[in-house]
Chain A
Amino acid sequence: DAGVTQSPTHLIKTRGQQVTLRCSPKSGHDTVSWYQQALGQGPQFIFQYYEEEERQRGNFPDRFSGHQFPNYSSELNVNALLLGDSALYLCASSLSGTQYFGPGTRLLVL
């Protein structure tokens, strides 16, 4: 089992650009949650996808959007990037509650 994988590992963008991050869940897991972890902070819940629908959402603006595909993989899209969007973006997959995390994508916005 490859575990949760995320791509890319690192990304550098400039303000105003758009970015897409990708996540492949553990085999058999049907739920994907996304978190943002700023430097020195705990993760903050962005949203969760199940059966290709956004099931719940944290306190993030509409610039943050996502998608889940029929194979349960997921994308996180961020539009109109701000300097404050620089962070580690974590994907977690689950089947029965326990969330397993990928290594994250480190995004730097200049």
Chain B
Amino acid sequence: QKEVEQDPGPLSVPEGAIVSLNCTYSNSAFQYFMWYRQYSRKGPELLMYTYSSGNKEDGRFTAQVDKSSKYISLFIRDSQPSDSATYLCAMSFNAGNNRKLIWGLGTSLGVNP
């Protein structure tokens, strides 16, 4: 079993839809959870960063963490064609500068105009 599971998709939605992306994990020691966006042939770009359980909102993006279920989500409201990219979840055991990130496979999202 992989430490972090993420459905690779692809996921295709019409413009304006609400998108839900999810990851599950097996190690309850993970404390810090991130969502990155990766456009084709580019490096990952940090979208959201959360600590432990709870919600965090930033513009059209909302990140949720449910540690009891070992489940994290990213919601995108009013999706735009420019949101078409691969979304990767990542997590770490600690917050320090020595952290190493454990990643999901990434979910490929296409938003159709």
Q: Interface of A with B (CB < 8 Å)?
A: 4, 30-31, 33, 35, 40-45, 48, 50, 55-56, 58, 90, 92, 94-104, 106
Known: A100-B46, A103-B42, A104-B43. A45 touches B102 (CB 8 A): yes
> B43 touching A102 by the CB < 8 A rule?
yes
Cα A106 to Cα B43 with chains together (Å): 11
Interface 9-mer from B14-22, B59-67, B90-98: B90-98
Which one of B6, B44, B88, B104 has the highest number of Cβ atoms from chain A below 10 Å of its Cβ?
A: B44
> B46 touching A98 by the CB < 8 A rule?
yes
Interface residues on B, range: 20 to 34
Residues of B within 8 A of A99 (CB): 46, 99, 101
Q: Does B103 sit at the interface, judged by CB under 8 A? A: yes
Please name the residue on chain B nearest to A58 by beta carbon. Answer: B100
Residues of B within 8 A of A101 (CB): 36, 43-45
> B105 touching A97 by the CB < 8 A rule?
no
Nearest CB in chain A: distance from B37 CB, A: 11
> A42 touching B88 by the CB < 8 A rule?
yes
Residues of B within 8 A of A97 (CB): 95-97, 99
- 13 inter-chain pairs at a CB distance below 8 angstroms, sorted by A residue, are A42-B4, A42-B6, A42-B105, A43-B88, A45-B101, A50-B98, A58-B100, A95-B97, A97-B95, A97-B96, A99-B46, A101-B43, A103-B42
Please name the residue on chain A nearest to B44 by beta carbon. Answer: A101
> B98 touching A56 by the CB < 8 A rule?
yes
Which one of A35, A43, A102, A106 has the highest number of Cβ atoms from chain B below 10 Å of its Cβ?
A: A43
Please name the residue on chain A nearest to B2 by beta carbon. Answer: A42
> A42 touching B97 by the CB < 8 A rule?
no
Residues of B within 8 A of A55 (CB): 98
